[in-house]
Amino acid sequence: MSRLTTHVLDTSNGLPAEGMVVRLYRRLGTGDIQKLAETSTNAQGRTDQPLLEGAAFETGEYQLEYSVADYFRGLGLKLPEPPFLDVVSLRFGVHDTASHYHVPLLVSPYGYSTYRGS
């Protein structure tokens, strides 16, 4: 059950955000970051596999990056240059590695929200 997952919903179109690039990083105590995964969302706006699970899912600070502007440009939306939202970056902590951490992102070209889901 211990794993990290994400889900992206395009609130401007009322649809799952298919094809959005998502990157996961672990923030190290030195201030550096280590890239752990890069994937794209599927037709349901989810990744095909958990971003982290099992022994790889450790206590610590993580960062998810969502390529929002590239996603909306891919839909044919003309964005200003520079776009208001280019990459949405979320920093969050994991303290209970026996739990499921789910990080949904609700996004439009001009705003986003997130929360710890289940």
Sequence spans of domains, the chain? 3-114
Q: Which of 66, 64, 61 is nearest to 30 (CA)?
A: 61
Q: Is the pTM of this model over 0.85?
A: yes
Q: Give CATH for domain 3-114.
A: 2.60.40.180
- In this model, does residue 1 exceed pLDDT 80? no
Output the pLDDT for position 106: 98
pLDDT in tens, 66-116: 999 999 999 999 999 999 999 999 999 999 999 999 999 999 999 999 999
Output the pLDDT for position 29: 85
Mean pLDDT of the chain: 96
pLDDT above 70 as % of the chain: 100
User: What 3-state DSSP class applies to 53?
Assistant: strand
**Contact (CB, 8 A) for 107 and 10:** yes
Q: Measured between alpha carbons, how far apart are the two ends of the chain, in Å?
A: 11
